[in-house]
Structure 1
Amino acid sequence: MTLADRIEPQLKSQNLESRLLRAGDQNLTPFGPLERILRPIIRDWFSALGRLNPSPGATARRLAQAGINKAPIDFRAEQLLWAAGGFVLSLTVILVGAAAGRFSPLLAAVVVIGSAAAGFVLRDYWLGVQVRRRETRMMAEFPSLAELMALAVGAGESATGALDRVCRSAKGELSKEFSKILAETRAGKPLVMALQEFSARTDLAPLVRFVDGIIVAVERGTPLADVLRAQAQDVRDSAKRDLMEAAGKKEIAMMVPLVFGVLPLTVVFAVFPGLAAINLGF
């Protein structure tokens, strides 16, 4: 029982309905009462797993970077489910092979343990992929949102008003982060503190500079519009440099099939008629 359930009978309540008439908790699995009996035990296991995690803060930070509203314990539970899925899948393959007459105990043990470990690691890798994809989308949205915010500030809006206008005008991952900052500000948290928390949970240097510029402008009253335009231009220039770098890497990669595939075939087509003529001459 939670603390609220324990102290509820001691408090004056306006709800006169009996708890016996309340609807029970909805079962998440088809096991019925067994699920309700084992749910506290499973929750304690997940809590113990979270305490054994060497870096729960890093996991929470990565989940926030991926835009996943989930506790680190739930993420570890998902990793265990992925590991169980790999275990069941490999065990099924091994049983099918054993039924066909191909079975090696050592190989079966290695495959089963390796599949379970691979499922556990694969969930963590997929989280990293989600973080990178979200950061890519945020960087693609950043120049336009910075320009829009610079226009709003130049028109006389405050930093909070400019953020509000950006959130109402744009849709995307970065605007969701700005909406979260505004929600925290309206809940009573200072704007500077909300911006600092956003800066702490992102690894994107342009966004960190953007937040630092807003913080300096709010604290010291410095002009903000020119800073935002300069940062937006820096991000666009950085995107152009990344595009040129990617084009250079693709050009080098295209040399491999050209040198080892097209060029030898061209040489064969050029040399073969001469060799055929020499053979006919002999």
Structure 2
Amino acid sequence: MSAFTTPAGLTGAAAGLLLGVGLALVLWRLSARRIRLVDRVAPYLQERPTTSRLLQDTHVITPFPTLERIVRPVVRDVAGLLERLGSGASSIRTRLVRAGSPTTLEAFRTEQVIWATIGLAGGLLLALLIGVTRGVSLVPLVVLVALCAVGGALLRDQALTRQVQQRERRMIAEFPTIAELLALAVGAGESPLAALERVARSTRGELSAEIGTTLADMRSGVPLAQALDRMASRTALPSLARFTDGVATAVERGTPLAEVLRAQAQDVREAGHRALMEEGGRREVLMLVPVVFLMLPVTILFAVFPGLTVLAITL
């Protein structure tokens, strides 16, 4: 019998095989961890970029790319300050969408910095004028200049808010006509999608542009209900949200749409009439200010002055 066929021989052979495999693994790991000369020299021979990091950023939004890259860090710092003052990035993005503006957040921040610079220049001129004419101390003048700069940036934010309000007022004014046209097209036998396309082609305005954007979303593969939901989220108007819900429900369930559109148009007209009456009431109150404080004193003076003159002559 051979020595390798006995149990003791088999055990010894297995142990030797395991020992050899273990030594081979140890030697392989040691050779893998060895740092070669090429690895040591390679970091010192790599090509480093010679262009400044300010010039590597190719995304520019103004006609002056070099100046924009230089000023961009300052714009970011000012943007952080405006965030703390209440001009949040999410709010600005939402209002830019509602205003239908193609301006990006970075471009809007740049405009805010420009407005703040104009306010700073105006504050400096005003501070110099007050300091020369009135002799005011330095601290109030510095506070005035800072307030003018911050006021310029916040004034651009308020201008965006007014832009959103004006656009939404135009959309509300256009909505009854658009709804009536859609009701006529649907009543004539067209599908809601064909009616929307006809109205988008034959009308002009803010609401027609929103309908055109919705149709573009649907042509790109977005379902009609989802495209109408996007339209409602872009406008954030309750009447348009009801309109999009009605159109989506009519398309999904096959319910009559013409009467719903006419009812919505009538509701918007009544809401506009109520808003007009409320605005007229406020204007009427404001018209009393010049009547009471300007015209009435002059009228009393003309009525009383002749009598006072007669009394002065007789005395």
TM-score scaled to structure 2, two decimals?
Answer: 0.70
Structure 1 residue identity aligned to 2:289: V
Structure 2 residue identity aligned to 1:167: A
- Counterparts of 1:230-245 in structure 2, within 5 Å, are 230-245=263-278
| Preserved contact between residue 78 and residue 113 of structure 2 (Cα < 8 Å) | no
Displacement after TM superposition at 1:259 (Å):
2.7
Aligned equivalents of 1:152, 1:97: Cα separation in 2: 66
Structure 1 residue identity aligned to 2:175: F
Displacement after TM superposition at 1:45 (Å):
6.8
Encode CA deviations 1:40-59: one digit per residue, 9 max, x unaligned: x9389749958x95843332
Aligned equivalents of 2:240, 2:167: Cα separation in 1: 13
Aligned equivalents of 1:96, 1:235: Cα separation in 2: 52
Distance change >3 Å, CA 47–CA 278, structure 1 → 2: closer
Looking at both structures, which has the greater relative contact order when contacts are Cα pairs under 8 Å and sequence separation is at least 6?
1
Aligned equivalents of 2:172, 2:233: Cα separation in 1: 17
1:167 aligns with 2:203: no
Give identity over the alignment, percent.
45
Distance change >3 Å, CA 218–CA 109, structure 1 → 2: same
Structure 2 residue identity aligned to 1:119: G
Instruction: Tell me the equivalent position of 2:4.
Output: none
1:42 aligns with 2:77: no
Instruction: Tell me the equivalent position of 2:279.
Output: 246
In the TM superposition, structure 1's runs of 4+ consecutive aligned residues that sit over 6 Å from their partners are 24-27, 96-101
Q: Which runs of 5+ in 2 are unaligned?
A: 1-57
- Counterparts of 1:2-81 in structure 2, within 5 Å, are 28-29=63-64, 31=66, 38=69, 42=72, 46=76, 49=79, 53=83, 55-81=88-114
Displacement after TM superposition at 1:29 (Å):
2.0
Aligned equivalents of 1:262, 1:154: Cα separation in 2: 57
Structure 1 residue identity aligned to 2:288: M
Aligned equivalents of 1:172, 1:212: Cα separation in 2: 21
| Preserved contact between residue 47 and residue 73 of structure 1 (Cα < 8 Å) | no
Instruction: Tell me the equivalent position of 2:54.
Output: none
| Preserved contact between residue 150 and residue 229 of structure 1 (Cα < 8 Å) | yes
Aligned equivalents of 1:132, 1:140: Cα separation in 2: 12
Encode CA deviations 1:220-275: one digit per residue, 9 max, x unaligned: 11111111111111111111122222222222222222233323333333333344
Instruction: Tell me the equivalent position of 1:13.
Output: none
Distance change >3 Å, CA 246–CA 121, structure 1 → 2: same
Larger radius of gyration: 2
Aligned equivalents of 2:111, 2:211: Cα separation in 1: 29
Displacement after TM superposition at 1:28 (Å):
2.9
Instruction: Tell me the equivalent position of 2:261.
Output: 228
Instruction: Tell me the equivalent position of 1:267.
Output: 300
Instruction: Tell me the equivalent position of 2:147.
Output: 114
| Preserved contact between residue 96 and residue 103 of structure 2 (Cα < 8 Å) | yes
Encode CA deviations 1:190-226: one digit per residue, 9 max, x unaligned: 1110111111222322111111111111221111111
Q: CA RMSD in A?
A: 3.2
| Preserved contact between residue 75 and residue 110 of structure 2 (Cα < 8 Å) | no
| Preserved contact between residue 46 and residue 77 of structure 1 (Cα < 8 Å) | no
Aligned length: 253
Q: Which runs of 5+ in 1 are unaligned?
A: 1-23
Q: Determine which of 217, 221, 244 is the counterpart of 1:188.
A: 221
Q: Determine which of 147, 161, 165 is the counterpart of 1:132.
A: 165
Aligned equivalents of 1:66, 1:233: Cα separation in 2: 25
Aligned equivalents of 1:242, 1:130: Cα separation in 2: 19
Q: Determine which of 203, 212, 228 is the counterpart of 2:245.
A: 212
Encode CA deviations 1:85-140: one digit per residue, 9 max, x unaligned: 32233335546777889574213311221121111101100000100111111111
